[in-house]
Amino acid sequence: MRLTQRLLLGALVVVGFLAISIFFVVDRQLNRRLSEDATTFLAREAQLVGELWQRDTLFPDSLADRSGSALGRRVTLVRTDGVVIGDSEFDDERLRRLQNHAQRPEVAIALMGSTGTSRRPSPSTGDEEIYVAVPVSELGVARVSFPTASLDAVLASSRRDVGAAALIALLGALAIAFLFSRSVSRPVEELRDVAQALADGDLARRPTMRAPGEVGDLAVALRRLAEQLSARLRALEADETLLVQLTESLNEGVIAVDTAQQIVRINETARRLLGVQAPLPFPLELLPREVALRDALLSAFAGETTEGAEVVISGRTLNVTARPLHEGGAVLALFDLTRVRRLEAVRRDFVANVSHELRTPLTIVGGFAETLADADVSLEDRRQFADRILGNTRRMQRIVDDLLDLSRIESGGWVPNPTAVNITAMAHDVLSAARDAAATKGLSLTQEIDPSVATVQGDATALRQILGNLVDNAVRHTTSGVVTLFAQPHERGVALGVRDTGVGIAPEHLPRIFERFYRVDPGRSREQGGTGLGLAIVKHLVEAHGGRVRAESTVGQGTTITAIVPKAQS
């Protein structure tokens, strides 16, 4: 039920109760007052009749008739023995047949010397009347009666008037109550709607009414409350945005778990590391079921901190830190150690490969040097041993030079100096430098340079080293056939490369041939003088130019290695 209806109903109940109460009180009081006034008047009239009776004692019945006619009342004169000797409504014959009135209540009281009153139906007429009797010295009792019908008519008329007045008052009170309830309920309902809107999150709502008194104070307080809530919500949203930006900018994965073991916050790094894409909040069971990860979380829930635990999830090595929260729950931090562990493995492999590559020539050099120290070695053997020492020394020098070049390129100590390079002339020089080694194996060296890409944009020294390493690598791994240096247009620039008809490379080796010291056939490669670093240097030099390198090969048919470099600006 609405406030207006409740106020109106309450006013109706109150006013109705008051109207009914007033009606009954007025009716009762009016009835009593009319009866008292009628009794008083009748007593005065009876005294007047008694005075007249004392003056005219000879003809009491005639006195009663004249008095009743003059007063408009029934007048009765009773002797002290109760015999009626005069009545305004009965003649002589009927008068003699009247009963003795000594036992009538009002007459009995009057005979005892007091004014007697009584209200009862008349035995003679059957109508209810009011009787008043007064003693008249030694003569008897003078009684005057009055029918109550006239009093009832007055009382009924007064009741109708009071009822009409009460009804008018009730209607007027209801109209006033309705207007009052509307004036009270409208601002209260508006304040209720504004409060409900604020509770639902609509902080833009404000009360528009301005009223005096408590309702106005409530509207002002509600307006201030809405403004404070808006300001605090904006501050919370700013803090939330800042927190989200901070957590999303971290290279570490961050996960927050509440007391119900629900994930309530997770940044994008943690989603990527754990492979979780469920929307927040989601249960803890959706995280990967790694023992170390679950143990760290359970320890945090128990109030213990876990640091430095490592887990492997989906091929990634993660460092896990779990800390308990004061309010319950836990926060989990994940740091990706995959690259660090991979670099450590590369470093270990590099040290092992360098040690292995240098140990063989050093062993050879040391062995021949010890042999040369023997005086019994012939001159021819000495010359042969010295050639072997020189060859292995040069091989160690090439390894060291290649390592220095590779280290300088990887560390950023070398930056290409791009210029327009004539690739035709450079290809001629590179092939000329390899003709002796090719002629020894009976290989043909050719070049296929497209005239449209005869000039490329790049560092001349680096391009010469790229092509030289590719040609040298092709000559060493080709036993017969042709080695071709080519340059042709490409959608990203110029495709430079070397194609041979050598032994080829098996598919499982192709993805790794650009790694340092990786050899498809390690023994044969060392015999042919390779350092295992040539293709790694080629890859880094091409990438330093903003290009990329790829290898294609078929076992028994040959290999093609292509480098994409920028085309020269016209």
In sequence order, what are the residues at sequence separation of 6 or more whose Cβ sits closer than 8 angstroms to the Cβ of residue 83?
100, 101
- All CATH 1.10.287.130 domain ranges of the chain, comma separated, are 341-409
- Burial code (b: 16+ CB inside 10 Å, e: under 16) for 48-83 equals bbbebbeeeeeebbebbbbbbeebebbbbbbbeebb
Q: How confident is the model at residue 523 (pLDDT cuts 50, 70, 90)?
A: very low
Q: Which one of 267-271, 354-358, 401-405, 445-449 scores highest in mean pLDDT?
A: 445-449
**57 beta partners:** none
Q: pLDDT per residue over 40-68, tens digit each?
A: 888 888 888 888 888 877 788 888 888 88
* Section 290-294 average pLDDT: 82
Task: Give the predicted TM-score (pTM) of the model.
Answer: 0.42
* Section 226-244 average pLDDT: 81
In sequence order, what are the residues at sequence separation of 6 or more whose Cβ sits closer than 8 angstroms to the Cβ of residue 345?
none
Q: Which superfamily does 250-335 belong to? A: PAS domain (3.30.450.20)
Question: C-alpha angle 147/148/151, rounded to 5°?
Answer: 125
The CATH number given to 3-153 is 3.30.450.20
| Residue pair 478/439 in contact by the 8 Å Cβ criterion | no
pLDDT reading at 306 higher than 60:
yes
In 164-315, beta strands by DSSP E: 253-257, 262-266, 282-283, 306-313
CATH of the domain spanning 415-565, picked from 3.30.565.10, 3.20.20.140, 3.10.310.10, 3.40.640.10: 3.30.565.10
Residue 34: what pLDDT? 81
Terminal Cα-to-Cα distance of the chain (whole angstroms): 88
> Rounded to whole angstroms, what are the CA distances from 515 to 62, 341, 555?
159, 17, 20
Q: How confident is the model at residue 486 (pLDDT cuts 50, 70, 90)?
A: very high
What residue spans of 56-144 are helical by DSSP H?
A: 60-71, 92-96, 105-111
Q: Looking at the domain 341-409, which fold is it?
A: Helix Hairpins (1.10.287)
Q: How far apart are CA 479 and CA 14, in angstroms?
A: 121
Closest CA to 459 of 341, 535, 540: 540
Using only C-alpha atoms, what is the Rg of the chain?
65
Residue 446: what pLDDT? 92
pLDDT reading at 490 higher than 80:
yes
- All CATH 3.30.565.10 domain ranges of the chain, comma separated, are 415-565
Q: How many CA atoms does the CB half-sphere of 201 hold within 13 Å?
A: 0
Residue 201: what pLDDT? 73
> Rounded to whole angstroms, what are the CA distances from 293 to 254, 284, 300, 307, 449?
13, 11, 11, 11, 59
pLDDT reading at 37 higher than 80:
yes
**Summary mean pLDDT of the chain:** 80
- All CATH 3.30.450.20 domain ranges of the chain, comma separated, are 3-153, 250-335
Residue 526: what pLDDT? 47
Q: How confident is the model at residue 525 (pLDDT cuts 50, 70, 90)?
A: very low
Q: pLDDT per residue over 159-177, tens digit each?
A: 788 888 888 887 887 788 7
DSSP 327-359: TS-EEEEEEE-HHHHHHHHHHHHHHHHHHHHHH
Residue 352: what pLDDT? 67
Q: How many CA atoms does the CB half-sphere of 263 hold within 13 Å?
A: 20
Q: What is the dihedral of CA 32, 33, 38, 44, to 10 degrees?
A: 120
User: Tokens standing for 294?
Assistant: 């679950």
Closest CA to 498 of 481, 520, 517, 519: 481
Q: How far apart are CA 525 and CA 281, in angstroms?
A: 58
| Residue pair 194/226 in contact by the 8 Å Cβ criterion | yes
* Section 496-522 average pLDDT: 80
- Burial code (b: 16+ CB inside 10 Å, e: under 16) for 87-105 equals bbbbeeeebeebeebeebe
